[in-house]
Amino acid sequence: MASLQIDDLCVDFGGLRAVNALGFTAAEGTIKGVIGPNGAGKTTLFNAISGFVRPSRGSVRLDGIDISTLASHERASRGLSRTFQNLQLIPDMSVLENVMLGSHASLRAAWGASLLGLARREELAAEALALEKLELLGLADRSAVPASDLGFADAKLLEIARALAGCPRVLLLDEPLAGVPLEEQNRVVEIVRAINRTGVTIVLVEHNMRVVMQVCDEIVVMHHGAWLAEGSPADVAQSPEVIAAYLGTAHGAAPGTAPGTTQGTAAGAAYPQTDAAGHGTRGNHA
Ligand SMILES: Nc1ncnc2c1ncn2[C@@H]1O[C@H](COP(=O)(O)OP(=O)(O)OP(=O)(O)O)[C@@H](O)[C@H]1O
Ligand SMILES: [Mg+2]
């Protein structure tokens, strides 16, 4: 298990400050939700935490150790993995091969170990690890099919399986439910919980407020890149600032009050609930 600590983080794109002096902690072994209206900066935050964009200021700490200057693969090898809002699967490769792409063992094999005659052994280890992750996610029986054969919910799970192949202690999930049909959402939610039970600290970005309220131990709310509120799901749902932030956007609505409900908020607005097509959750910046 591990903790993740963000301090005073800023990310600038030209004149746009997409993440603005943000700070929060995801405590060891917990599920921390990160919510906010479309464009609030959630995916950019994940990009900065995982080393895909360089912050202009601030720090990211894993178990108290500053990893802000490390390359993304170095962060991954220290136990930080992420999924992408827009699926980053390779459609022509098999399900198993897609998962193996996430394992350090397969990378080592590809880049150097062949010189020592270790490549095959590393590859077999990566394969066994990938299969183990596919078992956990209920996809083992589909390991040989091309990724393009999977339905959308399974494709989202495959994206998670690939992140798990890096054996993360902290896992960043960017909208794992976006586009997943309603009847399959529980399957994904149960898997997120199962991963957490194995000791993985999870940071969850998700627009489906019913799920966020049910699974998160704590939630931090972003608005225009900045910290707006933080606390238990019940506290955050009742925060007047949070409700106002959601009501002030075209797509968003207040995150509601009661865990487990699907409609209705203190302000009488609908949740920013994703529908089967994931509308209201678009973004192309992963
Ligand atoms: N690479 C980039 N270059 C320029 N601007 C960017 C880039 N990535 C993101 N942005 C901008 O930064 C802001 C935050 O975007 P981001 O995708 O992080 O929001 P988000 O909270 O993930 O939104 P959504 O809920 O729609 O996924 C937006 O104004 C977006 O247009
Ligand atoms: Mg996003």
Q: pLDDT of 132-150, one tens digit each? A: 999 999 999 999 999 999 9
Q: CB of 107 closer than 6 A to ligand 1?
A: no
Mean pLDDT, the chain, rounded, equals 85
Q: Which two tokens stand for residue 183?
A: 């009847």
Region 171-197 average pLDDT: 96
Q: Among all ligands shown, which has an atom nearest to the Cα of 37?
A: 1
- The two structure tokens encoding residue 157: 């799970």
Residues of the chain with pLDDT > 70, as a percent, come to 81
Position 126 scores a pLDDT of 85
Is there an atom of ligand 1 within 6 Å of 16 CB?
yes
Using a 6 Å cutoff on CB, does residue 41 contact ligand 1? Answer: yes
Does the pLDDT at position 259 exceed 70? no
- Bridge-based pairing of strands 218-223 and 31-35 is parallel
Residue 120 has a pLDDT of: 75
Is 139 or 262 the better-scoring residue by pLDDT?
A: 139
- Predicted local confidence at residue 111, as pLDDT: 52
Asked if pLDDT for residue 254 goes beyond 70, the answer is: no
Beta bridge partners of 231: 219
Contacts of 74 (CB under 8 A, 6+ apart): 51, 67
Residue from 250, 253, 257 nearest 235 by CA: 257
pLDDT attached to residue 69: 95
Q: What local confidence, expressed as pLDDT, does residue 124 receive?
A: 84
Asked whether residue 195 carries a pLDDT value surpassing 70, the answer given is yes
CA 41-18-13 angle, to 5 degrees, is: 135
Ligand 1 pocket member 181 (CB < 6 A): no
pLDDT at 270 over 60: no
Is the beta carbon of 42 within 6 A of some atom in ligand 1? Answer: yes
Q: What is the pLDDT of residue 118?
A: 59
Q: Residue 139: what pLDDT?
A: 97
Please report the DSSP string for 147-195 in residue order.
GGGS-HHHHHHHHHHHHHTT--SEEEEE-TTTT--HHHHHHHHHHHHHH
Residues in the chain: 286
Separation of 42 CA from ligand 2 center, angstroms?
5
- The pLDDT score that the predictor gives to residue 108 is 52
Per cent of the chain over pLDDT 90 is: 74
- Burial 51-75, CB ≥16 within 10 A → b, else e: bbbebeebebebbeeebbebeeeeb
Sequence-separated contacts (24+) of 96-99 with Cβ below 8 Å: 96/127, 96/130, 96/131, 96/134, 96/143, 96/144, 98/147, 98/158, 98/161, 98/162, 99/130, 99/133, 99/134, 99/158, 99/161, 99/162, 99/164, 99/165
Say yes or no to pLDDT of 265 above 60: no
Residue pair 209/35 in contact (Cβ under 8 Å)? The answer is yes
Q: Which of 59, 52, 56, 55 is nearest to 85 (CA)?
A: 52
CA torsion through residues 160, 161, 164, 166, sign: negative
The mean per-residue pLDDT over the stretch 46-68 comes to 97
pLDDT band at 74 (very low <50, low <70, confident <90, very high): very high
- Note the helical H segments in 204-248: 209-215, 233-238, 240-247
108 CA → ligand 2 middle, Å: 31
Q: Which helix (H) or strand (E) holds 107?
A: helix 104-111
Q: pLDDT tens across 85-137, in order?
A: 988 899 999 999 999 988 864 455 455 555 555 577 778 888 999 999 999 99
Closest listed residue to residue 192, CA positions, set 201, 183, 181, 179: 201
Q: What are phi and psi of 262, to 5 degrees?
A: -115, -15
pLDDT of residue 262: 33
Using the predicted structure, report yes or no on whether residue 162 has a pLDDT greater than 50. Answer: yes
30-39, 192-201, 239-248: least confident range: 239-248
223 C-beta closer than 6 A to ligand 1:
no
Span from the CA of 273 to the centroid of ligand 1 (angstroms): 19
Cα separation of 177 and 181, whole Å?
Answer: 8
